[in-house]
A and B are shown apart, each in its own frame.
Chain A
Amino acid sequence: MRLEYHVTGRDFQAAGEAAAKIKRTLRQIGIDAETARRVGIVAYEAEMNIVIHAYCGIVGIDILPQRVNIYADDEGPGISDIALAMQVGYSTAPEDIREMGFGAGLGLPNMKRYSDELEVTSQVGSGTSIRAVINLPAKEEG
């Protein structure tokens, strides 16, 4: 099952809605609360990265029997030094956005912390792609 949402850069009105829908849908189809929370956090950070830094993009998930794959692709400035962007506290967000409580340099570290696998690829001047995997807890034999 696939869910996919369009995200518009600088649209703080709708920001967070894709992640909220993803989390809600996961709960509705019976995914456990902790997994839904982790997917929600990773999707939120991916969505906010597009809103803050890119022109537009998509955020989506594929729900598979053993895991949830999260993907985000944007058209934007890209990230020149991914290792640096992964560091807690490093951010290129402008001041007006920081004042709103965004751009604290926690987005990518949060994604890493709450996912089981994370891959960030980027081309400067073109865009950024994120692939994250969150494994579902093993089902207990009933």
Chain B
Amino acid sequence: MSHGVRVRDIVDALECEVAAGIGHLDNEVSFGYSSDLLSDVMAGAGPGDVWVTVQVHQNIVAVGSLTGVSAIVVAGGAKPAPETVLKADEEGIPLLTTTKPSFEVIGLLYLMGIRGRVRE
């Protein structure tokens, strides 16, 4: 975790929109995780991760909150539901949106030095 990346660095690098959680862009990022299956994220993501998904309904905030991720990136131009945005603001989780597909997002995050969380 020596890359020292914060969520605002990701916003800059991906040129993405901040849909929620604007007050938490100084969150430090530990690892990255990508999945659209929520139970897989529950099992695999960890504290401080940046989570890349195309799911947009509000349960992604519950999953993000329970796993303790530092930010959720909604990739591929998917638009978070209004309740998702509200919830993310309530929970203080940055919700970033980009038209870049997941593969591009993950590639850019990797170039920033962020690596995947490897399960024990």
Contacts and interface: CB of A to CB of B under 8 A. Distances in A.
Interface of A: 12-13, 15-17, 19-20, 23, 33, 37, 40-41, 44-45, 48, 100-102, 104, 106-107, 110, 113-114
B36 interface: yes
Interface string B40-66: 101100010000010101111111011
B57 A12 contact: yes
Given A16-B66, A20-B65, A101-B37, A41 B42 contact: yes
B42 A44 contact: yes
B68 interface: yes
Please classify the interface of chain B as helix (H, G, I), strand (E, B), loop, or mixed, using the class held by over half of its residues: helix
B66 A104 contact: no
Q: Which bucket holds chain B's interface residue count?
A: 20 to 34
B104 interface: no
Contact of B43 (A12, A19, A41): A41
A81 B68 CA distance: 34
Nearest to B91: A20
B66 A13 contact: no
A16 B41 CA distance: 14
A100 B59 contact: yes
B38 A40 contact: no
Given A16-B66, A19-B66, A37-B68, A101 B43 contact: no
A142 B81 CA distance: 49
Given A45-B42, A110-B43, A104 B62 contact: no
Given A15-B62, A20-B62, A104 B42 contact: no
B83 interface: yes
Nearest to B53: A101
B93 to A, nearest CB: 11
Given A12-B57, A100-B57, A19 B37 contact: no
